[in-house]
């Protein structure tokens, strides 16, 4: 799994002054993902404000991820290159990862 911090769009996240935005590639799930975190939330609240790419194969392309994240941040070209490389050079899933995907597919009714 890869994970890269990117600069948030502060004009759209003015209610979250210390927002942290990350994007990455999750090889076991076969999906890109993006998160917006608010580290200033009280300890009894989850710091996750927005999270996409939590299900198997949910976001298959970098353009799909960019579209889902554009409200919160623009993915810089350098990070796009890293993500493209991460997806292209991912090792094959292990038998355990394949088994877990089948379980998740059954639970989430993913074809």
Arithmetic mean of pLDDT, 88-103: 88
- At 5-36, the pLDDT tens digits run 999 987 777 778 788 999 999 999 999 999 99
More confident residue, 108 or 102: 102
Q: Which residue has the tokens 């394949």?
A: 98
Q: What is the dihedral of CA 1, 92, 30, 76, to 10 degrees?
A: 50
SS3 (DSSP) at 106: helix
SS3 (DSSP) at 87: helix
Taking a C-beta distance cutoff of 8 angstroms, is the pair 86, 78 a contact? no
Alpha-carbon dihedral sign for residues 6, 31, 58, 55: negative
pLDDT band at 105 (very low <50, low <70, confident <90, very high): confident
Taking a C-beta distance cutoff of 8 angstroms, is the pair 38, 13 a contact? no
* Residue 27, pLDDT score: 93
Spell out the domain ranges in the chain: 4-108
């Amino acid at each position: 799994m890869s994970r890269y911090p990117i600069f948030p769009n502060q004009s759209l996240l003015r209610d979250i002054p210390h927002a942290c935005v990350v994007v990455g590639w999750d090889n076991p799930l076969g999906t890109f993902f993006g998160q917006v975190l608010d580290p200033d939330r009280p300890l009894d609240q989850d710091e996750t404000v927005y999270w996409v790419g939590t299900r198997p194969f949910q976001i298959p392309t970098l353009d799909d991820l960019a579209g889902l994240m554009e409200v919160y941040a623009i993915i810089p070209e350098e990070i796009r290159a890293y993500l493209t490389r991460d997806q292209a050079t991912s090792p094959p899933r292990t038998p355990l990862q394949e088994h877990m995907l089948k379980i998740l597919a059954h639970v989430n009714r993913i074809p």
